[in-house]
Structure 1
């Protein structure tokens, strides 16, 4: 019985993908052997291909797989024996002339130590010449540059530059010749092609207009919807989109192109254009959008997927969509084989397949049951895309989202108008600023709705749960999805599944939150598990209010900890010093909680960190206040005495002394005296002891994540009952030091570590402070 779909090219696409992966992951030798086997098998199949359908399919598979494998063998051999690759294996320095194939992309991710990832950017380029050990090599090939963001941020794709850096081998699974570590500005910078410059000016015009007309969140989101530019998006909003499963809206995808080309088709239809003119207009829109966003691999991939989506959903030729999808996969892999290991490519292919296979059938089924046409498609499209991509997302992230489908259902109806208005604003900005502003104004309600949906979805308790990561987890979830889809064809099973889902939403999630034992009633302080950094929360004695001391190394973990504790207001956020592992979570708090003020010490170094703090606090109209020794702040259930730093000492300190310039706080709480020490090291500890201060405390937040730079004299002066070490699991610094832990244990302290315990709450007890770890209420210990 016919399925209604033409699957003949699907095995070919799968075979080409498989041999491409083989060449990337195993090597050019394996690809060459595969090519030889495939091409040698062609004469065996050829004689029967004339009258056997399976033989004709096998012949196509063998030919294209052989071609793909041969291409991989050639490319892999070229990359492996490239003279710059050989220099990279020895870590040689070189001077290279390259042509940029992408604009600089600031690195994202958790910050570390005194530096932040955003200080560096990644640039893809094509090598032209290289000077190696006094000899010039003329050999092309793709390279990756790791460059200082500030000195490269104005460059765009198409520019030729000269760079000097240190070569390193690329990551496995790539055809890149080498990665170049560059620490200076480029020289001999050539102007870009005119069309690249024009596209960059259009993108800049959109950013300027959006910033002038929209709120910060909406202004950052609009370029993301239109051209995938999230550089101006507030980090807390970006985190909300990721948690809610809406990140795909801010990446150039087939959906963007389908929306733009679909809008062009609608306009041409309304003016009475014929099929040929409509096709030409949609094609011109597609090409124009590719130029606007930049002809990078991800955009070209999106163009192919967008064309397929249009074919299936706009032109209504559902049966032809799968062959075109398969042919596009083959073509893209032959041209850009590194897409085979790209998660974005796999997600695009899966989502497009879901849109052309599942979405029309599900929408028709809903319409048959009386659901209005627009509503049926609004439900079927995000549901189909989520179902087919969920196994891949689970394999990559190790989580399964329960809020992604409803969030996409709520967001879906406004994405298309917001994108269209954004494209129109981009196009008219060079001609009329007023008209561009009007289009941004029309997009504003849709953008604010998207921000609201992401914010509310991200705040849902239990909105996602952990899953087995990697290939095994992806295959397991894929199997469950297939079984579920087959079972849902039965009416009785659909009723049972609906009841089970309703019970899970109404009963299991609330019960899970209620029995977790967290937050611990009456807590005085919580050391949040923020990874390799500090994030402390002190109860003020007022409902839903707490003081925060440091915010950890990333945007989400400190904010998530406060959410779990039910905190809504932060009268004071103290940044003990300006290292990234203590301040990088601040932006996540400013956008989500009511923050009264941010306190910093007298040393405003590193300078980049202070600029970042000032930028973020000004955006949210939060004052920055100075904090130094001798000050006191109090609330009904909390008193903070500032013991350090002494401003007289910080006058001679530099950015290298930031640890010793940490703010040191003595907190008086219902649970006892808590000494919070930031990252103070030997000199600062010596000053505290020499000053004759009463350092005795029931609980010590051990300095600098338990590093070796802690003196016995200081620990003897504190004599804590409980020692908290905020430290990241498996960190590369060797924290905490066994020597320091031994000193604490021999001094009678119970040592608690966030990498072992998770979030740790300190509570009042009958004989002093006690503690409890999140998720394990039975571990409460009285001291």
Structure 2
């Protein structure tokens, strides 16, 4: 919702015209009556309880079906009884609305459950489907040995299976991998396809009746209609207008304008998540509000007045929905954008906008109950509500000592971030520290980029030259946003880890409400804001300090680097032996900064896969480097070794029998004994999509530090583990870094031979591989090991307490 300060100023200008027309009526207000604005503000909260109650009831139904409906019915009964007994009309209305809207939702969900497509999906049956494409493709390019993957939504028109044919009209999700993914991403919206597919049940709360995994490229049986082709031509024209710019710019402009994220590089998307700028790359109410503000401003400037303004505004809304696709998320964004425009403009910062917001929530849930389970819906509602409820008042406080435009530029993103932070944390496991600053800096660029992008899309249908000129403006505004996101994500304190479990998110939500209550007093005082700014800047530059982390006397920390490995073993007051670097530079750099590590006398790279060496720059930058160990049997570490060498490190190829003393740490290389046979042959590919030969050619190292011994096993497969058992006489250690992120491919003899009491599985939250495997966790538990997993518990540390190693985790699972 960034960029709304200018919208607010425009809308307030339009509001003056309304006020002049109704001024006479206002002047006839009876003596002693409250002002209209004040009364509206005071009574504006009455729909909040009904909206929240209905949202909760519908969510229960789409997630749990009949059980959820029972819970919703009980809740409605309680609300009605409380309302009648206490004469609270809001509670009674909430109960009645829960009954009505939840009954409609239950009928929709029941119809989906009774569909023959759902029955076939339960049996994982196959068949032929005829569908009409309704969404753009979400495409994930091939990465390493993992094939390309694509998913699209469509309307299921016909289903043929088990000798029967059904005519249907329900939403279905289409997926494909490899060549099928390439074929699936090609057809434009509105195209009718036929394909062979295997049906599977969708995730709980998913609007699709089934997920169809295409077994072969689909066949086009009818082209898209004229309107869909025209809309696609406009979108193609938008992309063509920025085609000559670098990848990040030409990918971001369509995302800002129409929510087309297909061209946004993965790295830029991660930077935007860290800096709380992700909302810019999705269709949101802000897109519509910015476009409407510009269109209506131009219309007023050329003299359009009265009902013609409404006609132009309605035409703008229709054009926006068509251009961004008539998907549920776009309709949601249109509703939220109109609410945001009304709430910020016509009430000049008062809270009257909460009424249309709650009404919009109720209406959207009645029309589309599956919105209740969508994160995008929650983000839109909370962001709009935060802006409408808080932004005006906070801007007024800031305007006491700041220019009004700057006050609004700060108040709007601050209100949106405070309102949405619990939702963002629930899906990311972190709290963005740099988000406010990033949004405030990006705000002035979002409006011009979005408006110029819409202009480029429209002009592309006239001539490519003016479209390219508008695209040039949009691309350079996007470049500023890219620079802000990239620089912000690189700060040590860009984000702070926070548990994503329900209790922790609830605590954060209460904290956000308390923060919102005291913030006006801070914003009204220049000195208080200055001190707050100094604190935030200090945290961003040095990194947030989590109370009690790292634990005193730590000897080992397995950093939370996502789907990869990155560990630090204490070698001195500000020195550590670092083992692997994770897939990206920022997480490992942030972890080492938290630990105060400025000196890395020894860096061990177990093998050359990206999830172990991709974050190498995060270790090399701003730290003194010594020696880098790579496996003498590995063929995949050459690039990482060259990068370390250019940073001034000495690269050594290590094998079994080598030992090093590094400050407080003793390092012993246990494997590889010799290059495994598979490493000399053509590489095999494991089930997890990586080269098994490279995994088994990696280093197996034992490190001792301050009375704690840890066995670092890289990604050894069962064959590599068996080889280590043959050539290493002693594998015992107090701590085991579980091989290959805890995959199911383990040699139980190897795990037992370590004799470890603590095991650490380093994996990424929600990873596609299912790491760590429940089977492996069961084996480790049966061997008497206490297991820590970074995907649910964050970083894990081991310290010596009362003479024995003790496990600490950054957050509770």
Aligned to 1:143: 172
C-alpha contact 2:586 2:618 (8 A) present in aligned 1: no
Q: Distance in 1 between matches of 2:710 and 2:408?
A: 57
Taking the TM superposition and a 5 Å limit, the aligned residue runs for 1:212-291 are 212-214=244-246, 216-291=247-322
Aligned to 2:698: 664
Aligned to 1:169: 201
C-alpha contact 1:705 1:735 (8 A) present in aligned 2: no
Sort the Cα spacing of 1:586 and 1:423 in 2 relative to 1 into closer, same or farther, 3 A.
farther
Aligned to 2:457: 426
Aligned to 1:779: none
Sort the Cα spacing of 1:375 and 1:508 in 2 relative to 1 into closer, same or farther, 3 A.
closer
Aligned to 2:30: none
Q: Distance in 1 between matches of 2:72 and 2:223?
A: 44
> Shift of the alpha carbon at 1:256?
1.0
Q: Distance in 1 between matches of 2:133 and 2:738?
A: 47
C-alpha contact 1:95 1:162 (8 A) present in aligned 2: yes
Taking the TM superposition and a 5 Å limit, the aligned residue runs for 1:180-219 are 180-214=212-246, 216-219=247-250
Q: Distance in 2 between matches of 1:78 and 1:664?
A: 54
Any idea what SS the aligned residue of 2:772 has? coil
Q: Distance in 2 between matches of 1:522 and 1:32?
A: 50
Sort the Cα spacing of 1:301 and 1:147 in 2 relative to 1 into closer, same or farther, 3 A.
same
Q: Mind listing any 5+ residue stretches in structure 2 that lack a counterpart?
A: 1-33, 766-770
C-alpha contact 2:655 2:699 (8 A) present in aligned 1: no
Sort the Cα spacing of 1:288 and 1:128 in 2 relative to 1 into closer, same or farther, 3 A.
same
Q: Distance in 1 between matches of 2:64 and 2:558?
A: 45
Q: Distance in 2 between matches of 1:158 and 1:165?
A: 20
Any idea what SS the aligned residue of 2:261 has? coil
Q: Distance in 2 between matches of 1:182 and 1:28?
A: 31
Deviations 1:38-78 (A, max 9, x none): 99x99xx9xx9xxxx987x8997677655423422322331
Q: Distance in 1 between matches of 2:164 and 2:120?
A: 12
| TM-score (norm: length of structure 1) | 0.73
> Shift of the alpha carbon at 1:83?
2.2
Aligned to 2:124: 91
> Shift of the alpha carbon at 1:343?
2.4
Is residue 679 of structure 1 aligned with residue 715 of structure 2? yes
Any idea what SS the aligned residue of 1:165 has? strand
Q: Distance in 2 between matches of 1:483 and 1:89?
A: 46
Aligned to 1:157: 189
Q: Distance in 2 between matches of 1:674 and 1:600?
A: 18
C-alpha contact 1:418 1:447 (8 A) present in aligned 2: yes
Is residue 311 of structure 1 aligned with residue 349 of structure 2? no
> Shift of the alpha carbon at 1:378?
0.9
Q: Distance in 2 between matches of 1:642 and 1:238?
A: 38
Deviations 1:520-570 (A, max 9, x none): 9999x97644466434679999x9999874635x88645644655768999
Output the aligned Cα RMSD: 5.8
Any idea what SS the aligned residue of 2:165 has? strand
Match of 1:335 among 358, 367, 373: 367
C-alpha contact 2:272 2:278 (8 A) present in aligned 1: yes
Question: Higher mean Cα deviation, 25-34 or 179-188?
Answer: 25-34
Aligned to 1:293: 324
Match of 1:121 among 142, 146, 150: 150
Any idea what SS the aligned residue of 1:655 has? coil
Q: Distance in 2 between matches of 1:442 and 1:592?
A: 37
> Shift of the alpha carbon at 1:298?
0.8
| TM-score (norm: length of structure 2) | 0.71
Match of 2:138 among 105, 119, 125: 105
Is residue 68 of structure 1 aligned with residue 101 of structure 2? yes
Sort the Cα spacing of 1:224 and 1:598 in 2 relative to 1 into closer, same or farther, 3 A.
farther
C-alpha contact 1:708 1:739 (8 A) present in aligned 2: no
Deviations 1:713-765 (A, max 9, x none): 9999xx999998654498225336858996xx9xxxx99977599466999xx
Count of aligned pairs between the two proteins: 725
Q: Mind listing any 5+ residue stretches in structure 1 that lack a counterpart?
A: 764-769, 777-783
Aligned to 2:58: 20
